[in-house]
Amino acid sequence: MDDNTKRRIETWLNGAYDQEIKDEIKRMQQEDPKALEDAFYCDLEFGTGGMRGIIGVGTNRMNKYTVGAAAQGIANFMKATVPHDPRIVISYDSRIMSREFAQISADIFSANGIQTFLFDDIRPTPELSFAVRELHCQAGVMITASHNPKEYNGYKVYGDDGGQLVAPYDRLVLDEVKKVTDISMISWQRKASLVKVIGKKIDDIYLKHVRALSLHLPKSEKGKNLKIVYTPLHGTGIALVPQALKMFGFKDVTVVAPQAIPDGTFPTVVYPNPEEHEALKLALQCADEIHADLVLATDPDADRVGIAVRNADGEMQLMNGNQTATLLFNYVLEHQLKKGHDIKNPYVVKTIVTTDLLKDIALDYNIDCYEVLTGFKYIAETIRSHEQDATYLVGGEESYGYLVGDFVRDKDAVSACCLIAEMAACYKVIHRENHKLLTEVLDDIYYQYGLYQEGLLSLTKKGQDGLNEIRQMMEKFRTKPPKTIGGIEVVKMHDVQLQKYYDYRYGTNGPLDLPSSNVLQFFLKDGSKLTVRPSGTEPKIKFYFSVTTKVNRRNEMAARKLELQQKIEDLKKAMLEF
């Protein structure tokens, strides 16, 4: 154990910390010194989007004191930059300690003279984003660790536009948080007159905006009776998604009962992550029992949604984030632009690791498709920068996050659930002359624009050793980039951190029009693409793969899909061996 770690432990043992905290440290000293070292070897990083970590004792954990320091830093920033009537809104999910962390934050913000709006119970992240703008706040806080395991919680910070903080404000807030070096610098005593509890009124206004997004409400009884299974995975989605679906006209919605109860221990799943097949197991079983058309699953803070649809063989088929984004983009553009709507400079947004098929669709409609760094805050930043001169239609990322319309400035699973259901009804029921399943619609898109398939490889590297290993891996890729990957020539590399591209075919390089970020992209001779980046929220390094080919005849589709899947597996193997 190094001296800095020992010093942090002694500070907590001798400082004005709760006795139960000190008792736990002493127990760990005797029974689990390795865990104690991990809990104190560093300060839990308050990054540019907030912080996320394991709940527990220590400077590297989510607890009363690390949350308190974050809240005080935000309060200090607001007091320095908002001269009159500073206002902040707080929401939280169903995770362990979420309510307590929200209450602590309300105490600290109000103690610092900030008008604080606190939701009366769990609410989804997108409603928090909406409430920031609706209540004319300069900031917002969402207590959530999204889809992480039950041991985690987190702290997302939002700016006055309802989007997560971006430069330069993210760094300015981060600097203020770092200045809170002692718990004596934190104002803990709530000023009750400055804390206002909010709830149903904001729900109703938000849901009214969601309802207005409808592009083709199902008017027929068949459309209304599309069979839907929904699971909130023990999270906040239960507060609004069933109600929103009902507002869209869907009557036949079955909620997975064992997962409808908000519970931060997530007793029915290993990970409350709609990307995981295991997390949707109960919903898929329910769908088969009642022969449902569609499964919708939201993560604990209801900003991401995973889906499954019934295919031509009568089986429930999971859609990944790129496939759902493709369907949703296509549906929105088809109904917004082909119908002759007069829209001023329409555009869409995707992240650099999301399928390039979205760019092809946008090009076909002759509209801009902006590419941004990974993280929905960059989509929100793009919306803000074009508010006066263009119209945002839809944005998405491969990690199951989508946003239609701009009254929310983060990914929104509540509205996405409604529009996905509407899309399924539109293609399957309402357009009876063109009766199609979503799997068939997706194949039509592939046939028109080209078949794209994507894959993800995540390597978990925990603790200080893991962090160092991830840094070393990124350094190796950056300084000794591969000339071939899986036997395929690398023709170009983007080093986003250096904001430069290198074209090996012509021996040229130049600037990239992206903010600096620790991301590398390799472009292969056959059109494949590989992106490498450390996760910003988990102890992981991530590899994103994209491969593509043309399909000349529809009866070749299945064979081409298998070929592309094998290519992804070959590229994954190459990365593991690099």
User: For residue range 452-502, what is the model confidence (pLDDT) as tens digits?
Assistant: 999 999 998 877 788 888 999 999 999 999 999 999 999 999 999 999 999
Q: How far is CA 282 from CA 114, 192, 272, 277, 290, in A?
A: 44, 43, 12, 10, 13
What per-residue confidence (pLDDT) applies to 313? 93
Average pLDDT, whole number, for the chain?
94
Q: What average pLDDT does the segment 137-150 reach?
A: 95
pLDDT tens track for 60-78: 999 999 999 999 999 999 9
Domains and CATH numbers, the chain: 1-39 (no CATH), 42-198 (3.40.120.10), 208-213+222-448 (3.40.120.10), 451-577 (3.30.310)
* Residue 443 host element (H or E): helix 438-449
pLDDT reported for residue 535? 82
Give the confidence band of 537 by pLDDT, cuts at 50, 70, 90: low
Q: Are 304 and 417 in contact (CB under 8 A)?
A: no
pLDDT of 342 reads: 80
pLDDT at 481: 93
Position 463 scores a pLDDT of 75
Question: What pLDDT score does 219 carry?
Answer: 54
Cβ atoms 306, 278 nearer than 8 A: no
The number of beta carbons lying within 10 Å of the beta carbon of residue 391 is: 16
Residues known to be catalytic: 146
Q: Given this model, what pLDDT does residue 461 score?
A: 85
Is the pLDDT reported for residue 430 higher than 60? no
- The whole-angstrom separation of Cα 411 and Cα 409 is 7
In the prediction, which pLDDT does 339 show? 59
Tell me the whole-structure pTM to 2 decimals. Answer: 0.94
pLDDT score, position 221: 53
Model confidence band, residue 163 (pLDDT cutoffs 50, 70, 90): very high
Give the CA angle between residues 1, 36, 22 to the nearest 5°. 120
Q: Residue 216 pLDDT more than 80?
A: no
Kindly report which listed range (119-133, 436-450, 525-539) carries the lowest average pLDDT score.
Answer: 525-539
Question: pLDDT for 255-265, tens place per residue?
Answer: 999 999 999 99
Task: Give yes or no for a contact between 287 and 295, defined as CB atoms under 8 angstroms apart.
Answer: yes
Structure tokens at 275: 């990307």
Query: What H or E segment, with its residue span, contains residue 451?
Result: strand 451-460
Determine contact, residues 52/220, Cβ cutoff 8 Å. no
| Integer Cα distance of 156 and 417 in angstroms | 23
DSSP secondary structure string for all residues of 155-207: EEEE-TTSSBP-TTHHHHHHHHHHH--SGGGS-----GGGEEEE-HHHHHHHH
Mean pLDDT of 363-374: 95
pLDDT value for 433 = 55
Percent of the chain, pLDDT > 90? 87
Confidence category of residue 235, pLDDT binned at 50, 70, 90? very high
pLDDT tens, 323-365?
A: 999 999 999 999 888 755 689 999 999 999 999 999 999 999 9
